Amino acid sequence: MSRIGKAPITVPAGVTVTIGDDNLVTVKGPKGELQQQVADAMKVELKDGELTVERPNDEKENRAMHGLYRSLLNNMVVGVTEGFRKELELVGVGYRVSNSGQVLELSLGFTHNILLELPPEIKVETKMERNKNPLIMLESCDKQLLGQVCAKIRSFRKPEPYKGKGVRFVGEQVRRKSGKTAG
């Protein structure tokens, strides 16, 4: 039995969960509204402020989806109450970042600046201080969308192992290699 799938999700006050007849789960809270289509085989129930996901049998596919949908629904409930936040730092000489509204402008050592338009569900803030790496703070109620946007920003200039330059998460450890002079 899936340990994650069996655990019930407590729905805090101020959050409303509606389950449609076609297994479309909608979660509304103070930070926003999210929807998730759950597979027809799974049974989602809301009783006494607790959300549970049950599977019909022990087939391999149903066992896999049981824990997945429970985690997705839990992330939705946490997202609309607390929200999710990720911070990226730009390590490198001359790397800069600025934003005007939902458009992020990155200067990462290429011949041109990179302009990235962010979805309206994501709040962005940039910070540039003297003698510190530029920071990008992203905040959203949708964990999946936030991770996807962070991965896209990071893909413009991944941290390289020799000098450690690139876009990385705050607190991320980059494995460094010694160059050819170390031999």
CATH code at position 113: 3.90.930.12
State which H helix or E strand residue 53 sits in: strand 50-54
Q: Are residues 43 and 89 in the same domain?
A: no
Cβ proximity of 156 and 167 under 8 Å: yes
Q: Are residues 88 and 133 in the same domain?
A: yes
Identify the pLDDT of residue 4.
Answer: 87
Identify the pLDDT of residue 2.
Answer: 61
Q: pLDDT tier at 181 (50, 70, 90 boundaries)?
A: confident
Q: Are residues 62 and 21 in the same domain?
A: yes
- Whether 182 has a pLDDT exceeding 80, the answer reads no
Q: Which domain holds residue 140?
A: 84-170
pTM of the full structure:
0.89
Average pLDDT over residues 99-117: 94
Identify the pLDDT of residue 183.
Answer: 61
Tally of domains within the chain = 2
Identify the pLDDT of residue 115.
Answer: 96
Q: Are residues 142 and 97 in the same domain?
A: yes
Identify the pLDDT of residue 180.
Answer: 85
Q: Are residues 133 and 63 in the same domain?
A: no
Q: Are residues 88 and 166 in the same domain?
A: yes
pLDDT in tens, 65-86: 999 999 999 999 999 999 999 9
Give residue 14's region: left, alpha or beta (phi > 0; psi -120 to 50): left
**Is 182 contained in some domain?**
no
First to last CA, the chain: 52
- Whether 103 has a pLDDT exceeding 80, the answer reads yes
Q: Are residues 63 and 29 in the same domain?
A: yes
pLDDT in tens, 17-75: 999 989 999 999 999 999 999 999 999 999 998 999 999 998 999 988 999 999 999 99
**Is 129 contained in some domain?**
yes
Domain's final residue, options 62, 81, 100: 81
